[in-house]
Chains A and B, each alone.
Chain A
Amino acid sequence: MTLMQFTLLSSFTLSMLGMTMYRTHLISALLCIESMLLTLFLATTTFMQTTQTTTITILPMTLLTFSACEASVGLALLVASTRTYASDHLNTMNLLQC
Chain B
Amino acid sequence: MNPMILFILLFSLAMGTITTLSSYHWLLAWIGLEINTMAIIPIITKKHHPRATEAATKYFLTQTAASTLILLSSTLNAWTTGQWTITELHHPLAMMMLTLAVAMKLGLAPTHFWLPEVMQGTTIKTALLLTTWQKIAPLTFIYLTSNHLSTKMLFTLGLLSVMLGGITGLNQTQTRKIMAYSSIAHMGWLTMILTLNLNLMTFTLMLYITMTTSSFMILLMSESKTMTDLGLAWTTSPTSMLLLMLSLLSLGGLPPLSGFMPKLLILKEMTMLNMISMSTILALSALPSLFFYLRLSYLMLMTIPPTTTTTEHKWRHKNNTLKITAQLFIITTTLLPITPLVNKIL
Contact between A and B in the complex (any CB pair below 8 Å): yes
Q: Which residues of A contact B (CB under 8 A)?
A: 5, 9, 12, 16, 19-20, 26, 29, 33, 36-37, 40, 43-44, 47, 51, 56, 58-59, 62-63, 66, 69-70, 73-74, 77, 80-81, 84-85, 93, 95-98
Contact status A80-B116, CB under 8 Å:
no
Please, which residues of chain B bring their CB within 8 A of the CB of A51? 82
29 residue pairs A–B, Cβ–Cβ below 8 Å: A16-B65, A19-B61, A33-B61, A33-B64, A33-B68, A36-B68, A36-B72, A37-B68, A40-B75, A43-B75, A47-B79, A62-B31, A63-B71, A66-B30, A66-B31, A69-B34, A73-B60, A77-B53, A77-B56, A77-B57, A77-B60, A80-B45, A80-B48, A80-B53, A81-B57, A84-B53, A95-B121, A96-B55, A97-B117
Whether B172 sits at the interface, judged by CB under 8 Å, is: yes
Whether B137 sits at the interface, judged by CB under 8 Å, is: no
**B interface: dominant SS:** helix
> With A26-B57, A56-B84 in contact, do A84 and B48 touch (Cβ < 8 Å)?
yes
Contact of A74 among B60, B84, B172, B177 (CB under 8 A): B60
Contact of B34 among A19, A36, A70 (CB under 8 A): A70
Q: Which residues of B contact A (CB under 8 A)?
A: 27, 30-31, 34, 38, 41, 45, 48, 50-51, 53-58, 60-61, 64-65, 68-69, 71-72, 75-76, 78-79, 82, 84, 116-118, 120-121, 168, 172, 177
Residue of A nearest to B119 (CB): A96
Contact status B72-A84, CB under 8 Å:
no
A-B contact count (CB 8 A): 87
Cα A58 to Cα B172 in complex, Å, equals 48
Q: A16-B65, A66-B31, A93-B58 are in contact. List 4 more A-B contacts (CB 8 A).
A: A56-B84, A66-B34, A77-B60, A84-B48
